[in-house]
Amino acid sequence: MANQKSVLKGAEILQNISDLKKRKFFHLELKGLTKPTRDILSELVNGILDEIGANPLAAFHLFSGLMEALLNAIKGNIRHIIFRDELLKKLSNLGDTQEEAEELLEVILDTSPLRDAMQRYVVPEKIKRQVQNVLQLEDRIRAKKQVLVPEEKEFLTNVRSKLEKNRMNISVKIRITESELNLRIRNDSPIHNMDFGRIEESRLKHKELFDKGNSADFFRPEFLDEKESAGFGIAMIDEGFYTMGLNPLDLLTITTGSRTTTVYMRYPLSALKELAF
């Protein structure tokens, strides 16, 4: 964790929670969302919320929203690595040398229209299955109940090494002002335009249901989009805002570029403190 004065690692953060929770700005760099990382975030964020006098229910929705955003970031980075691999295989099969294929890949990834156009050459369901496979293998390792077979170990090691090689990191910034608590979650992969548009459209549908007094209906099968994207996680965050009596379309913003996706979440301190929902 870094701020203007110090750089601390996991165990050091826990040792200094009493002092840290009184600060107004935090910058954390994450490699993943392991149990120790969750515990550190829980201690830090809940300590901050306790310090500002947040209602426990509001604290629950804020922390749950942060976890959803981080899980989206992790899935986004994994999905992008797998997309890169699949696209590189296609380009290599066109007859170019490996070096030329890699150079062309970087041009495509840096150019949004080209990147979106190349999605037709990559099977979405295959990417979805591989992302889910990575998450399931990581869960099995954390649970320590099953031993991975050599093929699973090789697949997971390959994905991990490529995430590190391509510096696919996640950062969290927390800032407290006189009126708001601001969260900024950034991961080093983009959302493709088609997926981004679909997420924005589904958020509007969610808002329409909320305005009719039944926002929870959004999670029924007829509304929920099953495609592999950040849509479900964002919907869960939005629902937390609605439960708190806040409009997420005003307070949650998503931006994406050629190499990054950033989620901004703003929580008025008055809403965090009051039992008005």
Q: Is the pLDDT of residue 97 over 60?
A: yes
Percent of the chain residues topping a pLDDT of 70: 90
pLDDT at residue 171 tops 70: yes
Q: What residues form DSSP beta bridges with 62? A: none
Least confident of 98-107, 135-144, 187-196, 226-235: 226-235
Q: Which CATH architecture group holds 22-73+170-273?
A: 2-Layer Sandwich (3.30)
- How far, CA to CA in Å, does 84 sit from each of 92, 112, 204? 12, 14, 31
Query: What are the tens digits of pLDDT across the range 187-219?
Result: 999 988 888 888 999 899 999 999 998 888 888
Q: What is the mean pLDDT of the chain?
A: 85
Q: Using CA atoms, how far apart are residues 81 and 87, in angstroms rounded to an integer?
A: 10
Q: Residues of 67-80 as b/e, b for ≥16 C-beta within 10 angstroms?
A: bbbbbbbbbbbbbb
Q: What is the mean pLDDT of residues 237-249?
A: 93
- Percentage of the chain beyond pLDDT 90 is 37
Q: How far apart are CA 185 and CA 175, in angstroms?
A: 12
- CA separation for the pair 115, 107 (Å, rounded): 9
Residue 128 pLDDT > 90, yes or no? no
* pLDDT over 80 at 277, yes or no: no
- Domain boundaries of the chain, sorted by first residue: 22-73+170-273, 78-166
The gap between the terminal CA atoms of the chain, to the nearest Å, is 33
User: For the whole prediction, is pTM greater than 0.95?
Assistant: no
Task: Provide the pLDDT confidence category of residue 2 given band limits of 50, 70 and 90.
Answer: very low
Which pLDDT score, from 0 to 100, does residue 3 have? 43
Look at 10-19, 24-33, 140-149 and tell me which has the smallest mean pLDDT.
10-19
Structure tokens at 250: 């005003």
When pLDDT is averaged across residues 99-110 and rounded to a whole number, the result is 86
Rounded CA gap, 186 and 16, in Å? 25
